[in-house]
Structure 1
């Protein structure tokens, strides 16, 4: 038994020595041609992930626009064209004319600011509680990253590339590259492995940059249609001030009781006249806002700096540009909807 145990121990020792002296196999070398093919597939995966993200953002903004139209029709247009609203706006324009301390700011510009605020409170804010364009941008960006992540592992498998080698390759591909923030850079590997994505410094910096662009001066007026309505309304309301002033003078001349009767009579006559003109006023307002809202929708979808696809454009453009492809640019709204 002792001899047998000694032989077994000797065999184990010899086997361990042999395995210790055996060299560790080196990683399989991947040729430059193979890496080029891999990059082409990563590029194609990015483009493939962009299409559903664009479709999601476009369809969601279609729903947003429908809600904006409905809210404009049911709330803002009846409010704006109402008789007492027009009386109130006339008083405001009159006050703007006599109290303006900024000669460069006309009554029309001040009325524009007031109407913009009213449109925001009556239409945009209530709609944003259901569909928020900024939230759509964040969701579309995360959706693109998720779809891209799902397509990458099969690429490594098709070319029989080890996970460590493939991860190192992804870690050399920039996905976010911002100039200003200190933590504004991330690789493709870091992006798809961020847990959670919402706390990744470079991703947070990108979303914040898009938000600043959307609320900054380069984004233009929130609603150009309101501005055109304000200019037209201001001119019309200013023109109505003269006859109103004459009626007030007559009422003052005949005394308190008779003056009150004249004022009430003028108000009643004005309400009747206004009712006859209201349908035309509503149609003009509806036409002005419809054109402006369509422009706003296109800007919110296609603008590469602050639209709902700005995050997708930024990341996909960085990845695809680093792989030798032309930077990703927004497609036209028509082609986006057709995809």
Structure 2
């Protein structure tokens, strides 16, 4: 093998050094200094991003609430309606109405209201509580808030990249935009920067306070299904009450104080036949179905349209705070600029 000449070795070394020099990493361009007009445009685009995120999340909430409504209807048909219109349930409810009437008087709720409360309890146990194991409006509302924050954060990053906004300046600007305002204390307040980047949502006190605030607002309201059940209870109380005298149930209850529920039901059954119940049951089922469907449709509309307690309530709160802060900052800047013009012009 012929040894390499010294000149060839020098050439190879120079060639290698030139290759290394050509592979130097590219130099990052210096940060761009954005003008006030550009920052104003960024604010406008954040508002647009908030509106777009709200619209996307509304589609999610609407689809999820349709699933919830379908499941409520299924459990109502398969459990509550058969239970309520069943022969032994009607006997038991008749006994309850008789008992309520015997114990009514000053300072006590009327029989119709006491029966309504009982039916509401049963409806929650047999229908709403069962559906909530799979899906429920409060869970949809919480997930909608998380999804809104996630989508808005992605769009803010795209806006920053598009305008090559310096991260420090952008973060400072986001810190001045209030997203949650539930204080005092100050821990119940949060800026848009905190909401998007500071730490996971589950660890943010202000976000936890907002979730709790939404849940409390819902519990303070009245569900449409409960309103519908009040109507059912009113009709049931009148119907069952009309049968008390001919069936002698009131006196049976009076003589059976202290006995177990099964004995009371057997006493009630003596004056009311299964055949009569079977004749009335189809009409009873249809009336109950209509009342509960109307109530459920009203409840669904309320959950979708109420901006304070509905499935989108948390999203509306966050987007409203963010957009109002951005619009307010722009208005304040415009007023300041117009004020300076009003001062300068007379001097000119």
Fold shared by both chains (TM-score > 0.5): yes
Shift in Å at residue 246 of structure 1? 8.3
Q: Structure 1 residue aligned with 2:242, among 213, 224, 239?
A: 239
- Give the secondary-structure state (helix, strand or coil) at the position aligned to 1:183: helix
Gaps of 5+ in 1: 1-25, 253-262, 326-339
Q: Distance in 2 between matches of 1:172 and 1:111?
A: 54
For residue 18 of structure 2, what is the aligned residue in structure 1? none
Q: Structure 1 residue aligned with 2:182, among 178, 183, 192?
A: 178
> Aligned pair 1:114/2:113, yes or no?
no
Q: Is the 8 A contact 2:225 2:292 kept in 1?
A: no
Q: Distance in 1 between matches of 2:284 and 2:196?
A: 53
Q: Is the 8 A contact 2:91 2:269 kept in 1?
A: no
Q: Is the 8 A contact 2:85 2:285 kept in 1?
A: yes
For residue 312 of structure 1, what is the aligned residue in structure 2? 315
For residue 270 of structure 1, what is the aligned residue in structure 2? 273
Q: Is the 8 A contact 1:223 1:296 kept in 2?
A: no
For residue 34 of structure 1, what is the aligned residue in structure 2? 38
Shift in Å at residue 194 of structure 1? 3.8
Q: Distance in 1 between matches of 2:231 and 2:201?
A: 42
Q: Is the 8 A contact 2:141 2:312 kept in 1?
A: yes
Q: Distance in 2 between matches of 1:282 and 1:239?
A: 19
Shift in Å at residue 270 of structure 1? 2.4
For residue 19 of structure 1, what is the aligned residue in structure 2? none
Shift in Å at residue 139 of structure 1? 0.8
After superposition, the Cα gap between the structure-2 partners of 1:192 and 1:102, relative to the gap in structure 1 and judged at 3 Å, is: farther
After superposition, the Cα gap between the structure-2 partners of 1:164 and 1:270, relative to the gap in structure 1 and judged at 3 Å, is: same
Q: Distance in 1 between matches of 2:133 and 2:269?
A: 42
Shift in Å at residue 101 of structure 1? 5.6
Shift in Å at residue 133 of structure 1? 1.7
Q: Structure 2 residue aligned with 1:208, among 181, 206, 212?
A: 212
For residue 337 of structure 1, what is the aligned residue in structure 2? none
Shift in Å at residue 76 of structure 1? 0.3
Q: Is the 8 A contact 1:112 1:226 kept in 2?
A: yes
For residue 152 of structure 2, what is the aligned residue in structure 1? 148
For residue 233 of structure 2, what is the aligned residue in structure 1? 230
TM-score normalised by structure 1 residue count? 0.79
For residue 109 of structure 2, what is the aligned residue in structure 1? 105
Q: CA RMSD in A?
A: 2.4
Shift in Å at residue 32 of structure 1? 2.2
After superposition, the Cα gap between the structure-2 partners of 1:230 and 1:238, relative to the gap in structure 1 and judged at 3 Å, is: same
For residue 46 of structure 1, what is the aligned residue in structure 2? 50
List per-residue Cα deviations over 1:137-193 (Å, max 9, x = no partner): 111100010000001122122222211111111111111111455422111111001
Structure 1 stretch 92-101 or stretch 309-318: which is displaced more?
Answer: 92-101
Q: Is the 8 A contact 1:61 1:297 kept in 2?
A: yes
After superposition, the Cα gap between the structure-2 partners of 1:139 and 1:98, relative to the gap in structure 1 and judged at 3 Å, is: same
Shift in Å at residue 31 of structure 1? 2.3
Q: Distance in 1 between matches of 2:99 and 2:120?
A: 18
Q: Is the 8 A contact 1:140 1:312 kept in 2?
A: yes
Q: Is the 8 A contact 1:184 1:205 kept in 2?
A: yes
After superposition, the Cα gap between the structure-2 partners of 1:265 and 1:187, relative to the gap in structure 1 and judged at 3 Å, is: closer
Q: Is the 8 A contact 2:248 2:271 kept in 1?
A: no
Q: Is the 8 A contact 2:95 2:249 kept in 1?
A: no
